[in-house]
Amino acid sequence: MKQHDAQYDIAIIGAGVTGSALYYVLNKYTDVNRIAVIEKYSLAGQVNSKSTANSHTLHFGDIETNYSIEKAEKVKHAAHMVERYVRQAGRHELHERYSKMVLGVGEQQIRQLKQRHENMKQLFPELEYMHWKDIATIEPAVADDREDIAALYSPNGYAIDFGRLSESFLEVATTKDILRLFGTHVKKIKKKEKYTITTTNGTLEARTIVAAAGAHSLLFAKQLGYGKEFSILPVAGNFFVSKKILNGKVYTIQNDKLPFAAIHGDPDINDPKITRFGPTAIMLPMLERGLYKSVWHFFKTSGVSGLTNMLAVLHDDTVLEYAMHNILYEIPYFGKELFLLEAKKIVPSLHDLKRAKGVGGIRPQLVSHRGLHMGDAKIIGESAIFDITPSPGATNCLQNAEEDAKRVCSFLGKRFDETGFKEEFY
């Protein structure tokens, strides 16, 4: 096994959109000079950031009905940072522009949308409240001559290829001492004066570490004695597809008690000829979709307490009903027909749905004996950060990178260039 001679200021574990965004910010806006990036795949953004693993949505907080005004304001800022980055010259391949709306069906939901529009119109002046006739001009298949619907609509929707965004962050020019270990698994991390990281491609030392490896970040945290009270509830999202029937993104109203996305319809950034519906959500005992050895990682991470925590979560009637309903979606033929009933709330004329093959990832939802942890999940250790589920996911990558970079600088006694960072992103 190779012993890497240099000792690094920081080792970033994971080159998805969270880890690669941190790499970008540390490179451009700090005097942290020795940076190691360790990624188990040969390319960046191959797990949760991959375009087939998520809905490509850049969340601004306007049509996300479970967001308070305070959270929407924070999310809007995070989304604008990504928006500014992808709209720079030469980065058009990273995104597509779409309209977006959240749909209310029936009197109760219509009242809810009216109230939300009243609450949010100062924060989102471009957000429109629409009756069914107006909806028909934007999304004819949604309106379908039904009058018991309304929507909040914005023309400013984005679909982001977060896998490509991850690669883009890593392309920043640098004169710093950089080590990139791709196709490299982290086997063990130990802490003495520095962190010793044993990998399948050698051993290196770092003064500080940031684990940006999704669910595996908790595994690394527990190796070092952190986050023992937590476990992972792995929620796998599946999708269905139809021929293109929507012009933009159409969301449905979120259940405030659940951190999981309500069913919505989206254009597919990989195939403009189809519309993708979902996600459904089913609990699978693995930390990474399709990687069956991660079943062992799940039990290693969660142990007996993980099963206890899962049972505690399912004790909530709302969560239990949601879980059971989504299990039914997985039953051959019957599941598709049951899901179709839900999707018809968006497109009443919808009839031709297929299961999307090879599409869907795993959301590593953090749980403890207190139940589901809403929002982001980050554990701070001694000169160490473990990013598990930054909320709202990839939208928060640059804001999360700003926070992590400042904390890393405080660990190392380094400087963060606040002025330069704000010039690019604020």
CATH code, domain with 413: 3.50.50.60
| Residue 39 domain-assigned (yes or no) | yes
19 & 165 share domain: yes
364 & 398 share domain: no
Of 372, 393, 409, at which residue does a domain stop?
A: 372
Distance between CA 144 and CA 329 in Å, rounded? Answer: 25
| Residue 101 domain-assigned (yes or no) | no
Is the bond preceding residue 140 a cis peptide, omega within 30 degrees?
no
379 & 265 share domain: no
Distance between CA 96 and CA 45 in Å, rounded? Answer: 18
Rg (Cα) of the chain, in Å, rounded? 22
323 & 391 share domain: no
Query: Which residue matches tokens 């953090």?
Result: 366
214 & 337 share domain: no
391 & 358 share domain: no
Distance between CA 295 and CA 365 in Å, rounded? Answer: 16
Phi and psi of 52, rounded to 5°? -85, -5
Distance between CA 45 and CA 18 in Å, rounded? Answer: 9
Query: Residue 218's closest CA among 414, 385, 98?
Result: 385
Is the bond preceding residue 279 a cis peptide, omega within 30 degrees?
yes
pLDDT score for 390: 60
State how many domains the chain has. 2
Distance between CA 264 and CA 269 in Å, rounded? Answer: 15
Q: Block means of pLDDT (10 residues each) for the chain, length 426 residues?
A: 73 97 98 97 95 92 94 96 91 92 96 97 97 96 94 96 97 92 96 94 96 94 92 89 97 82 90 94 87 87 73 77 88 93 95 92 82 80 90 90 98 98 96
Element housing 19 (H / E): helix 17-29
Distance of CA 51 to the CA centre of its chain: 11
Is the bond preceding residue 267 a cis peptide, omega within 30 degrees?
no
Structural tokens at position 40: 């188990």
| Residue 386 domain-assigned (yes or no) | yes
316 & 384 share domain: no
| Residue 99 domain-assigned (yes or no) | no
| Residue 61 domain-assigned (yes or no) | no
Q: Are strands 354-355 and 231-243 parallel, antiparallel or unpaired?
A: antiparallel
pLDDT score for 47: 94
CB-CB contact of 227 with 386 (8 Å) = yes
Q: Which ranges of 126-186 would DSSP assign to H, the alpha helix?
A: 132-138, 140-143, 162-170
Distance between CA 250 and CA 142 in Å, rounded? Answer: 9
pLDDT score for 3: 60
pTM of the full predicted structure? 0.94
Distance between CA 419 and CA 425 in Å, rounded? Answer: 10
| Residue 72 domain-assigned (yes or no) | no
SS3 396: helix
Of 329, 355, 372, at which residue does a domain stop?
A: 372
Q: Are strands 249-252 and 95-105 parallel, antiparallel or unpaired?
A: parallel
| Residue 267 domain-assigned (yes or no) | yes
Distance between CA 207 and CA 35 in Å, rounded? Answer: 10
358 & 397 share domain: no
204 & 182 share domain: yes
Largest CA distance in the chain: 69
Phi and psi of 284, rounded to 5°? -125, 135
| Residue 395 domain-assigned (yes or no) | yes
pLDDT score for 324: 87
406 & 311 share domain: no
216 & 325 share domain: no
**Domain residues for 30?**
1-56+161-229+375-426
Distance between CA 361 and CA 235 in Å, rounded? Answer: 8
Looking at the DSSP bridge assignments, the partners of residue 268 are 271
329 & 346 share domain: yes
Identity of the amino acid at 262:
A
pLDDT score for 2: 60
70: exposed, middle or buried (Cβ count in 10 Å: 0-12, 13-18, 19+): exposed
Query: Residue 54's closest CA among 392, 327, 367?
Result: 392
